[in-house]
């Protein structure tokens, strides 16, 4: 509700500015009541937008937080607001809500309504662009806040989580490659990351306090099957498995892909967009 109120307030301010600057609907020809008409137009825009938001949410189950919801809201709002605006202009000009709906011959006509629709569409276009800009900035801020929260948690536990693996190691597991005698016995908690390179895999792990790299001829699919029981080893990219206990920090934006900085290694690990939400949820 608070966010909706902010959105409606933004619409009201945008309408006041655009009506004052563009002066459509014959506002430029008015010598009196110009500001009253502008304020009335802003109030009508807020009311019709609130109704349009409700209609779109009820019928299409869309919200104004996404582009589709905004487009549908404006599609519903333009004809509604055009009718209300034409009636308002008619009342300010001729003291009658209906006179603007008739032509000079005194017959009902849609010409003035269609003209009002064109002018309302122009104003709605500017407001739509403004809303897209604000929505993008809000999403960016949310992403940055989420990354900061994750990094704060990682900072708080960076001295504990990797050491947990030292104090409570499981039994070594055996990774068998596709070449003859290609075997690696490694404690899963000591694996930092695994990088797939075509039909080979570079396994980075700690042997005591020494960083080791071992290359096996094995596919990422085989590795995932062999290590499926160890839930702290998760895919973050089609070519990478990482140990969440060794993540030191995360950088970047979820919408464009993030990177992970791991303990003990200088290499940064990419996180593709398809895995970003899962990685964030596991780290929080």
Taking only the tens place, the pLDDT of each residue in 159-177 is: 555 444 444 567 888 998 8
pLDDT of residue 65: 75
Q: Percentage of the chain with pLDDT > 90? A: 48
Taking only the tens place, the pLDDT of each residue in 90-103 is: 998 888 999 999 98
Ranges 29-33, 144-148, 187-191: which has the least confidence: 29-33
Domains located in the chain, CATH noted: 2-140 (no CATH), 158-283 (2.40.50.1020)
Task: Estimate to the nearest angstrom the gap between the alpha carbon of 3 and the chain centroid.
Answer: 15
State the Cα–Cα distance between residues 237 and 257, nearest whole angstrom.
Answer: 10
pLDDT of residue 163: 47
Q: Comparing 262 with 33, which gets the higher pLDDT?
A: 262
Using alpha carbons, list the distances in angstroms from residue 140 to 56, 133, 216, 258, 273: 25, 11, 40, 13, 15
pTM: 0.67
Q: Cβ distance 220 to 239 under 8 Å?
A: yes
What's the mean pLDDT in 143-151? 86
Q: Decide if pLDDT at 10 tops 60.
A: yes
Q: Cβ distance 146 to 137 under 8 Å?
A: no
């Amino acid at each position: 509700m608070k966010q909706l109120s902010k959105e409606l307030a933004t619409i009201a301010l945008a309408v006041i500015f655009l009506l004052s600057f563009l002066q459509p609907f014959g506002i430029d020809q008015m010598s009196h009541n110009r500001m009253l008409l502008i304020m009335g137009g802003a109030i009508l825009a807020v009311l019709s937008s609130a109704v349009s938001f409700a209609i779109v949410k009820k019928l299409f189950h869309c919200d104004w937080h996404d582009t589709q919801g905004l487009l549908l809201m404006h599609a519903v709002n333009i004809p509604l607001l055009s009718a209300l605006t034409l009636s308002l202009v008619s009342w300010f000009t001729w003291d009658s809500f209906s006179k603007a709906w008739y032509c000079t011959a005194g017959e009902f006509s849609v010409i003035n309504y269609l003209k009002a629709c064109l002018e309302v569409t122009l104003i709605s276009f500017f407001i739509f662009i403004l809303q897209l800009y604000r929505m993008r900035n809000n999403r960016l801020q949310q992403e940055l806040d989420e990354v900061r929260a994750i990094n704060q948690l990682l900072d708080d536990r960076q001295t504990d989580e990797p050491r947990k693996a030292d104090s409570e190691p499981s039994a070594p597991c055996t990774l068998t490659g596709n070449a003859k005698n290609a075997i690696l016995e490694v404690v899963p908690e000591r694996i930092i990351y695994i990088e797939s390179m075509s039909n080979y895999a570079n396994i980075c792990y700690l042997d005591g306090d020494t960083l080791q790299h071992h290359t096996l001829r094995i596919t990422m699919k085989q590795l995932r099957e062999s290590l499926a029981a160890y839930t702290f080893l998760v895919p973050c990219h089609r070519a990478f498995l990482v140990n969440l206990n060794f993540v030191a920090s995360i950088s970047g934006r979820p919408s464009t892909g993030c990177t992970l900085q791991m303990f003990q290694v200088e290499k940064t690990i990419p996180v593709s967009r398809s895995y970003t939400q899962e990685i964030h949820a596991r780290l929080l």
